[in-house]
Amino acid sequence: MNIQRWIARRQNQWQEFEGLLQRAEQRGVKSLSAKEIGTLASLYRSVAADLARANTNQIGETIVQELQALTTRGYSLIYRGSRRQELRQAINFYQWGLPQVLRETWGYTAIAFGLFLVGGLIAWWFAWQDASFMSLIVPESMIEKVRDQRQLWMGSILGTEPFAATSIAINNLTVAFRMVGGGILAGFWTVYALFYNGLLIGAVATLVGQNDLAYPFWAFVFPHGALELPAIFIAGGAGLLIARGLVFPGRYRRRDALRIYGLQAAQLVMGIFPMLLVAGAIEGFFSPQEVIPSPVKYLAGTGLFILLILYTLRQEKGKGIRE
């Protein structure tokens, strides 16, 4: 490789690239025409390739440093705008897009809630009729603590709040993602998970009710449950959407149905992620605090749920609710 000849052949492009960079840096990318922006991107790739070649062939420290400086400036200019655009898109999604998707898919979320509710009512009925049923669902250690000691178990969180909040969030995210992924199994796992979690909550609610601990128990549940439970139902709805595309594609080809319903499911997952993180923090730091009066916890949970409903009803001006 003739180094001098290679440099002479490539130098004009380096200078052209630097000239476009300077204009864009001084006046903004908008000062460039569409053609110049295309040239800038093309020259950036070319200069990056030249830098790799210069490093490989050890073409002098000065040339390498100059090319490195050019590629760094080019990367910053090109991808900084891309990141800003991505940030704007993310903000727009959480501001307007997610509420719209939640409204469009509310039927699937309602079905998920229905499955959970049926499980809860069945557990409540059988637990009241047969005391032995409780031990089939609820851990024996929890039963003994509530029945024999007349105490709730959430006091163990106190003193370990950061660890507890992290563990709770990870557990809830795991449960939610499994519900979503269960849609691939024709929705059977999603249905099972919703029904079983309903059984568990129903059995626990019956246990605390039978031992006169319902009021403090629900005071603990309300603050974080206002976000956690809806997030679980939304995750279940996302799993049912995937199952719908797989089992009942309707007028679409199965591949197209999976793409359409899978996209909605993915958008719902993006929505439940921050909900479960916030719920985990509330359950770790706020819900178990004994110094906070129970009425305050009930009000906090109710307020969060109302805010969630209002958020779901948000829509851009000039756009009606799409059914």
Residue 228 confidence class, pLDDT cut points 50, 70, 90? very high
| pLDDT of res. 91 | 85
CB 186 within 8 Å of CB 247: yes
Q: Which of 110-119, 138-147, 187-196 bottoms out in mean pLDDT, i.e. has the lowest? A: 138-147
| pLDDT of res. 83 | 59
CB 300 within 8 Å of CB 222: yes
Question: How remote is the C-alpha of 286 from its chain's centroid?
Answer: 22
Could you tell me the CA-to-CA distances from 78 to 28, 38, 193, 234 in Å, in that order?
11, 11, 46, 37
| pLDDT of res. 74 | 82
pLDDT tens digit string along 178-190?
999 999 999 999 9
- Residue 252 DSSP code: S
pLDDT tens digit string along 270-303?
999 999 999 999 999 999 999 999 999 999 999 9
| pLDDT of res. 322 | 44
pTM: 0.75
| pLDDT of res. 5 | 81
pLDDT tens digit string along 236-277?
999 999 999 999 998 889 989 999 999 999 999 999 999 999
Total residues belonging to the chain = 323
Residues 6+ apart with CB under 8 A from 111: 236, 237, 240
| pLDDT of res. 323 | 40
pLDDT tens digit string along 80-99?
655 566 677 788 889 999 99
Q: Left, alpha or beta for 50 (phi > 0: left; psi -120 to 50: alpha)?
A: alpha
Q: What is the crossing angle of helices 140-149 and 188-210, to 10°?
A: 20
Long-range contact pairs involving 109-114 (C-beta distance under 8 Å, separation at least 24): 109/230, 109/233, 109/234, 109/236, 109/237, 110/237, 111/236, 111/237, 111/240, 112/179, 112/190, 112/194, 112/232, 112/233, 112/234, 112/235, 112/236, 112/237, 112/239, 112/240, 113/233, 113/236
Q: What is the mean pLDDT of the chain?
A: 89
CA distance 304 to 294: 15
pLDDT tens digit string along 21-55?
888 888 877 777 878 888 888 888 888 888 888 88
Query: Per-residue b/e over 184-212, b at no fewer than 16 CB within 10 Å?
Result: beebebbbebbbebbbbbbbbbbbbbebe
For 299-317, what is the mean pLDDT?
92
* DSSP secondary structure, 164-191, as one string: HHHHHHHHHHHHHHHHHHGGGGTTHHHH
| pLDDT of res. 84 | 63
CA distance 148 to 39: 77
pLDDT at 132 over 80: yes
Token output for 222: 């309300």
| pLDDT of res. 317 | 65
Percentage of the chain lying above the pLDDT 90 cut:
55
pLDDT at 13 over 70: yes
| pLDDT of res. 29 | 73
Residues 6+ apart with CB under 8 A from 275: 227, 228, 230, 231, 234
